[in-house]
Amino acid sequence: MNMDSISNALLMLVDALRDDEESVAIIELIDTAEGDGEIIEGLKRGVERLETLGKNAIADDIRKKTIGFAF
């Protein structure tokens, strides 16, 4: 696990979902996470949302960056 990659993936996720009203809860979950479990949940929910929005390339990149942590 590379913590820089995980941090980068989180930033990418928040940036990609920032303007999506239905993603507010996902972003809040990540921002207020009290542990890895909540961050992992936010990453998984965020990737699912990206795929729903058709942003598959970003979702795939986030998956690759977080292999061994969330995926």
- To the question of pTM greater than 0.85 for the whole model, the response is yes
Burial of 70 (0-12, 13-18, 19+ CB in 10 A): buried
Mean pLDDT of 18-29: 96
pLDDT at residue 5, rounded to an integer: 95
The mean of the pLDDT values for the chain is 96
Confidence of residue 48 (pLDDT cuts 50, 70, 90): very high
Mean pLDDT of 37-60: 98
Percent of the chain with pLDDT over 70: 100
Mean pLDDT of 3-9: 95
